[in-house]
């Protein structure tokens, strides 16, 4: 409820989860990884579809595929990134399973789908954003691979490392340039990151907004203001790109990662702290801020994955508190931290 008292019982998931997206009917699409064969490298995974109350609707085993990022089109078709294979898999979870593959930029983790159905995918290696037309790239089972002539480079030479992106609703795209610099001795130097705005044609519009740090997550808030997290310091900036104005909005302990906003002006940020000598894993926390920048609550998280709807409903996979990477849970919360639905569990559902 409003003071972060848990209303429903927490329920665990059986696998570590990475990607989370909300489908057109309110279903949750969740990617998870299977480390059973190799504890340091996933070999398989699953795409699970849950209803708004956390009940399992359907699950697709992605044998030989390690699914990370996920986005969903208006027909409920999921697009899942596999950075190890430089591939986006097209998945119909309601009967057909994996129905095709899309050639993807090397090492792609994240992706998003625009209102026109095009996929936007950041390429960390070439510092670019590419836009893909799924209808031209699908390879049907048993068919030959069609050469794709419609992969367009949406933007080239975006700083040193394009890592975060947010569509503005008008066909434009905000991209964070991490600005990561490493010395010859392997030490991280002060960041020289920036926010770059690309118009619908993929060309930069205006000057980049320089930031004294390493911007990672970015989200468009009310009035077109941008909220940006700093990987290095945990600072959250509020940015008026048109006015080239940057102000500190808030901060989180450790380092800043993914970020989201809702229609009421609340800001959600995943922060993480590196493990100590006595810890094996980094500690992830979801920080919730109101529109004035006051922190209204925190919740533990299992990683950078979470999703927020426009009306402030939060879907967040979190750990069971034991530090184990094997068991996680999803809590469904409102923007003020109240529980919107009972916590979601897949522990009792067989993976077979």
* Residue 288, pLDDT score: 92
Which structure tokens are listed for 204? 């930069």
Q: Rg of the chain's alpha carbons, rounded to an integer? A: 19
State the residue for tokens 């070999």.
43
Top pLDDT among 278 and 193 is at 193
State how far the Cα of 335 lies from the Cα of 160, in Å rounded to an integer.
Answer: 34
- Which pLDDT score is estimated for 27? 86
Q: Which of the pair, 226 or 350, is modelled with greater confidence?
A: 226
Helices H / strands E in the chain, number of each:
1, 31
With beta carbons less than 8 A apart as the criterion, state whether 180 and 161 touch: yes
With contact defined as beta carbons under 8 Å apart, do 310 and 263 qualify?
yes
Tokens describing residue 18? 């990475």
Cα-based torsion angle of the residue sequence 230, 159, 169, 335 in order, rounded to the nearest 10 degrees: -10
Is there a contact between 98 and 79 (Cβ–Cβ < 8 Å)?
Answer: no
Rounded to 5 degrees, φ, ψ at 135 are: -65, -25
Alpha-helical segments (H) within 169-298: none
Whole-prediction pTM: 0.56
The DSSP result for 284-318, as a single string, is EEEEEE-TTS-EEEEEEESSS--EE-TT--EEEEE
Q: So what's the pLDDT on residue 293? A: 94
Mean pLDDT of 3-25: 70
- pLDDT digit string (tens) for 100-158? 888 887 778 888 998 888 898 887 777 778 888 887 655 444 332 222 323 344 444 45
Lowest mean pLDDT among 49-58, 96-105, 259-268, 342-351: 342-351
189, HSE (Cβ side, Cα atoms, 13 Å): 10
Q: Which helix (H) or strand (E) holds 135?
A: helix 134-137
Query: Distance between CA 30 and CA 34 in Å, rounded?
Result: 13
Residue 279 confidence (pLDDT): 57
Q: Could you report the per-residue pLDDT of 298-336, keeping only the tens digit for each?
A: 887 877 888 898 888 998 876 655 544 444 678 888 766
Q: What is the DSSP letter of 136?
A: H
Percent of the chain with pLDDT over 90: 14
- Angle at the Cα of 68 (from 23 to 201), degrees rounded to 5? 70
User: Which range (24-33, 200-209, 240-249) has the least confidence?
Assistant: 200-209
C-alpha torsion angle, residues 198, 203, 208, 214 (rounded to 10):
60
Least confident of 26-40, 140-154, 265-279: 140-154
Please give the full DSSP string across 195-264, using - where no structure is assigned. EEEE-TTS-B-S--EE-SS-EEEEEE-GGG-EEEEETTT-EEEEEETTTTEEEEEEE-SSEEEEEEE-TT
Coil/strand/helix, residue 27: coil
DSSP-derived letter for residue 224 is: G
- The tokens 């794709």 sit on which residue? 148
Q: How far apart are CA 322 and CA 288, in angstroms?
A: 23
Please say whether the beta carbons of 53 and 72 come within 8 A: no
């Amino acid at each position: 409820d409003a003071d972060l008292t848990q209303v429903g019982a927490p329920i665990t998931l059986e696998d570590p989860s990475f990607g989370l997206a909300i489908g057109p009917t309110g279903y949750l699409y969740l990617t998870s990884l299977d480390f059973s064969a190799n504890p340091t490298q996933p070999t398989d995974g699953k795409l699970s579809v849950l209803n708004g109350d956390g009940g399992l609707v359907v699950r697709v085993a992605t044998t030989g595929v390690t699914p990370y990022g996920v986005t969903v089109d208006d027909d409920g078709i999921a697009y899942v990134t596999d950075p190890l294979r430089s591939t986006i898999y097209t998945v119909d979870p309601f009967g057909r399973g994996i129905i095709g593959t899309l050639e993807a930029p090397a090492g792609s983790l994240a992706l998003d789908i625009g209102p026109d159905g095009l996929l936007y995918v950041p390429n960390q290696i070439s510092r670019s954003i590419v836009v893909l037309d799924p209808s031209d790239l699908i390879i049907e089972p048993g068919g030959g691979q069609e050469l794709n002539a419609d992969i367009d480079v949406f933007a080239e030479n975006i700083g040193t490392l394009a890592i975060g992106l947010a569509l503005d609703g008008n066909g434009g795209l905000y991209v964070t340039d991490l600005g990561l610099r490493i010395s010859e001795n392997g030490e991280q130097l002060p960041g020289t990151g920036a926010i770059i705005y690309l118009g619908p044609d993929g060309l930069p519009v205006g000057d980049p907004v320089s930031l004294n740090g390493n911007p990672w997550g970015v989200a468009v808030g009310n009035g077109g203001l941008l909220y940006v997290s700093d990987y290095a310091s945990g600072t959250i900036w509020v940015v008026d790109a048109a006015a080239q104005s940057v102000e500190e909005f808030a901060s989180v302990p450790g380092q800043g990662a993914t970020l989201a906003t809702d229609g009421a002006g609340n800001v959600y940020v995943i922060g993480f702290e590196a493990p100590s000598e006595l810890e094996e894993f980094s500690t992830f926390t979801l920080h919730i801020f109101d529109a004035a920048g006051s922190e209204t609550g925190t919740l533990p998280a299992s990683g950078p994955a979470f999703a927020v709807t426009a009306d402030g409903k939060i879907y967040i996979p979190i750990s069971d508190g034991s530090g184990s990477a094997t068991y996680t849970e999803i809590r469904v919360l409102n923007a003020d931290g109240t529980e919107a639905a009972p916590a979601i569990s897949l522990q009792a559902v067989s993976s077979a």
